[in-house]
């Protein structure tokens, strides 16, 4: 017997089309799954829903599951890293990130099992790509985190910065965003959802054309092409100029300032020439779009024993930061927590290995 498809990513309109049921029942059933964490579609009839319609939905769909293999809370900051097992045994990681405002969280989700891009400073890139995640598997990461939240707290936003390049899986990522935003799904404001890419121009354009009003983050790595090439292999096929042109088109559609992220690596991308090149692309972007990108420095996190890089020293960082500030480029230093449990940026490898 063929397994029924999972229901999580479906919006009520999709359920209506697939099951020939009324929108009221479809909304009630979808909301019961995402908001009250019901795992058995036909087990109960939500208030104002019709039994016969619930049965029709249950005959067509089931709720797929991601099994929590481990959940590790950081001892130094309130991050929690989840290792989750998909139904085929593949493992992914999801991180619950606290916001400054108490009781609010952002969920950092994975979009692929592994990643094909192979950025030199990222542990996920060492795994290679196993497969894309399905849209429901992306949404389910949020549901897993959300069902464990203490009462009175909530998921405020989602960031696509876990395992994988989200714009290499853009169709499913957009489908997942639709469910994350849907009032019967997770009801998360689109502007609180950020898609971070290392640079897939076609994906940026697809996202812009989709009508979704999410935020865009671009990992710059280095604004000097020769340095970027050594850090981000995709620079060969997708040069930064093309990525930034697509980002400019995105801004023309959404009007929202993108975030440019850079990870200062000791002795690699923090020279004055790197700061000057970075300032130049920020200036050019503002001149092109009228919108100044937000520049974010993300501390480097160790990725293993044979780590080829080191975190820029405080002195090196300050010099880089001051040089950018002197040229008039505002910079924020991002806090990257959860390093002690391998939950920080660039560290996600689903360490509790497959099938263990």
Q: Which residues of 6-28 are buried (b: 16+ CB within 10 A; e: fewer)?
A: bbbbbbbebbbebbebeeebbbb
List binders of ligand SF4 among 298-317 (CB under 6 A): none
| 21, 35, 62 from 51: Cα distances, Å | 11, 20, 16
Of 22 and 118, which has the nearer Cβ to ligand SF4?
Answer: 118
**Residues binding ligand SF4: number (CB under 6 A):** 11
Q: How far is the CB of 118 from ligand SF4 (least distance, A)?
A: 6
- Would you call 93 a catalytic residue per the annotation? yes
List binders of ligand SF4 among 164-183 (CB under 6 A): 164-165
Dist CA 128 CA 86 (whole Å): 17
Number of other residues whose CB lies within 10 A of the CB of residue 201: 21
Q: How far is the CB of 125 from ligand SF4 (least distance, A)?
A: 3
Of the candidates 19, 119, 184, 345, the residue annotated as catalytic is 345
List binders of ligand SF4 among 148-167 (CB under 6 A): 163-165
Q: How far is the CB of 165 from ligand SF4 (least distance, A)?
A: 4
Number of other residues whose CB lies within 10 A of the CB of residue 48: 9
- Would you call 345 a catalytic residue per the annotation? yes
Of 25 and 161, which has the nearer Cβ to ligand SF4?
Answer: 161
Give the dihedral of Cα atoms 71, 90, 233, 206; nearest 10 deg.
-90
Of 74 and 124, which has the nearer Cβ to ligand SF4?
Answer: 124
Of 163 and 312, which has the nearer Cβ to ligand SF4?
Answer: 163
Q: Which residues of 159-196 are buried (b: 16+ CB within 10 A; e: fewer)?
A: bbbbbbbbbbbbebbbbbbbbbbbebbbebebebbbbb
Judge contact between 79 and 96, C-beta under 8 A: yes
List binders of ligand SF4 among 79-138 (CB under 6 A): 115, 117-119, 122, 124-125
Dist CA 57 CA 319 (whole Å): 60
Of 125 and 203, which has the nearer Cβ to ligand SF4?
Answer: 125
| 20, 74, 92, 313, 355 from 85: Cα distances, Å | 33, 21, 7, 37, 8
Dist CA 327 CA 320 (whole Å): 11
Of 164 and 339, which has the nearer Cβ to ligand SF4?
Answer: 164
Of 69 and 198, which has the nearer Cβ to ligand SF4?
Answer: 198
Nearest to 291, CA basis, from 251, 338, 241, 244: 251
Sheet holding 154-160, edge to edge: 67-73, 80-85, 91-98, 104-108, 154-160, 193-197, 215-219, 259-262, 294-297, 331-333
Of the candidates 72, 93, 134, 140, the residue annotated as catalytic is 93
Q: How far is the CB of 119 from ligand SF4 (least distance, A)?
A: 3
Residue whose Cβ sits closest to ligand SF4:
125
Q: How far is the CB of 153 from ligand SF4 (least distance, A)?
A: 28
List binders of ligand SF4 among 191-210 (CB under 6 A): 198
Q: How far is the CB of 193 from ligand SF4 (least distance, A)?
A: 17
21 interacts with ligand SF4 by CB under 6 A: no
Q: How far is the CB of 14 from ligand SF4 (least distance, A)?
A: 29
Residues in touch with ligand SF4 (CB under 6 A): 115, 117-119, 122, 124-125, 163-165, 198
Known catalytic residues are: 93, 345
């Amino acid at each position: 017997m063929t397994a029924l498809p999972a229901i999580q990513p479906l919006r009520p309109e999709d359920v209506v089309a697939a099951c020939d049921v009324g929108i009221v029942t479809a909304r009630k059933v979808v909301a019961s799954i995402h908001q009250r964490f019901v795992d058995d579609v036909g087990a109960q009839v939500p208030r104002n829903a019709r039994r016969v319609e619930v049965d029709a939905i249950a005959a067509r769909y089931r709720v797929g599951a991601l099994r929590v293999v481990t959940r590790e809370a950081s001892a130094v900051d309130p991050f929690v890293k989840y290792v989750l097992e998909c139904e085929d045994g593949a493992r992914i990681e999801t991180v619950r990130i606290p916001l400054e405002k108490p009781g609010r969280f952002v969920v950092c989700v994975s979009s692929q099992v592994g990643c094909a891009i192979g950025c030199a400073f990222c542990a996920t890139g060492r795994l290679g790509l196993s497969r894309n995640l399905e849209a429901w598997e992306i949404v389910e990461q949020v549901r897993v985190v959300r069902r464990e939240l203490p009462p009175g707290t909530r998921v405020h936003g989602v960031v696509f910065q876990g395992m994988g390049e989200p714009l290499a899986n853009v169709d499913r990522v957009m489908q997942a965003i639709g469910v994350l935003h849907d009032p019967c799904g997770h009801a998360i404001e689109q502007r609180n959802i950020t898609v971070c890419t290392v640079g897939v121009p076609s994906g940026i354009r697809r996202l812009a054309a989709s009508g979704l009003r999410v935020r865009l983050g671009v990992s710059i790595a280095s604004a000097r092409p020769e340095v970027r090439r050594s850090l981000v292999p995709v620079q060969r096929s997708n040069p930064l100029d093309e990525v930034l042109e697509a980002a400019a088109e995105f801004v023309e559609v959404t009007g929202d300032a993108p975030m440019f992220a850079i990870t200062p690596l000791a002795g690699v991308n923090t020279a004055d020439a790197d700061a000057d090149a970075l300032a130049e692309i920020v200036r050019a972007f503002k001149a092109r779009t009228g919108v100044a990108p937000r520049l974010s420095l993300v501390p480097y996190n160790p990725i293993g024993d044979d780590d080829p890089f080191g975190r820029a020293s405080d002195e090196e960082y300050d010099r880089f930061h001051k040089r950018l500030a002197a040229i008039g480029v505002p910079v924020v230093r991002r806090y990257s927590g959860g390093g002690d449990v391998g939950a920080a940026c660039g560290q996600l490898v689903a360490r509790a290995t497959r099938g263990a």
